[in-house]
Amino acid sequence: MPEHSGAARPSGRTARTREAVHRAVRELLTEPGVDVTMAAVAARSGVHRTTLYRRWRTVESIVLDVAVERLTDESPVPATGDLRADLTDYVHRLLVSLHRKGTSTFLQALSAAAAQAHEITDVTDVVEPRVHQFQAMLDAAGVNRVDGLRLVELVLAPAYFWAQFGAPLDPDDATERLVDSVLSVAGAAD
């Protein structure tokens, strides 16, 4: 099972290995024309290829693991009970992050990794934590007409779609529109 299977974050040597591998992948993804391969990750991280294969099985699993960590760390989902405020905060931060340098390269690598993943669990592991976080936001607000997966469709899908094509949504223009769409579907519009 890959490291991103939902278990608590590792500690000690396992954590150092994971961080070295993640750092190597993030660096490789920012270098134009460099292929992210097991050999390249091993060379850059100093972690033996056997360890990489044992822990992640494929380079796609490593890239997806990096994506899960990045989403969780850089874009936490608030759950204060005020759905409009929580969504506005989250969506605005998401859209701003999609304008950062290197994001399009990262999204292309993520799409390629998802397309080449050998098991569907490698892909669903990327989405599942966010679905649970969205569900916690909805639960805190007492909203049950929409679920966490639907928020992926209403918020993440359009945001990542446009970013993937090099035209990320403008945070100042699109935040309110996306939030209003969710609130309309959720029956929680002001």
pLDDT, one tens digit per residue, over 57-99 is 888 888 878 877 877 777 789 999 999 999 999 999 999 988 9
**60-186: which CATH topology?**
Tetracycline Repressor; domain 2 (1.10.357)
For 100-129, what is each residue's pLDDT tens digit?
Answer: 877 776 677 667 767 776 666 666 766 788
| Overall average pLDDT of the 43-59 stretch | 93
Q: How confident is the model at residue 184 (pLDDT cuts 50, 70, 90)?
A: very high
User: Helix/strand/coil (H, E, C) string of 139-157?
Assistant: HHCCCCCCCHHHHHHHHHH
pLDDT the model gives residue 81: 97
Helices 157-164, 83-97: crossing angle, 10 deg rounding: 10
Q: Are 136 and 13 in contact, with CB atoms under 8 Å apart?
A: no
